[in-house]
Structure 1
Amino acid sequence: MEKLQKTTKGKHFILLPGEMIKLAGWKEGDEIDVRSGLDITPKKGDLILRKVL
C-alpha cells in the first residue's frame, strides 16, 4: 500500500513496501542486474526507503 507522508521540512515522499521496489543496474557488457528492494544493501549517498509499520 502506498502512503503519502509529510516531513518536518514540508516535503512529501511516498513510502512503498520493499517487495514492490525493483532496482536495475548494468553488469558487464549488455547484461542487466535486477534485484528486489529487499535484497539491496544501501551504500553512502544512496536513497534509503524504509518500511513504516
Structure 2
Amino acid sequence: MVQTDLARGQLVQLLPGYSLGARHYYALYPQTRYVAPKVRAFVDHMAEHYRER
C-alpha cells in the first residue's frame, strides 16, 4: 500500500528487517440462502485483493 511513497522517498522504512508475519482476514456475515449483492461483491473483492499478495 505504501510502496510508491517509499520509492519516492516520502516515507522512510523503519526496522526493514522486521516483519509482522502473515495476516489473516475473515468476513463474517449471517448464513442465509440470500446474500446481498453488495456483501458478495465486497467479499469477492477483498478475497481477490489479498489473494494477489
TM-score with structure 2 length normalisation?
0.25
When you count strand as a share of all residues, which structure comes out higher? 1
Structure with higher RCO (Cα < 8 A, 6+ apart): 1
TM-score with structure 1 length normalisation?
0.25
* Greater radius of gyration (CA): 2
When you count helix as a share of all residues, which structure comes out higher? 2
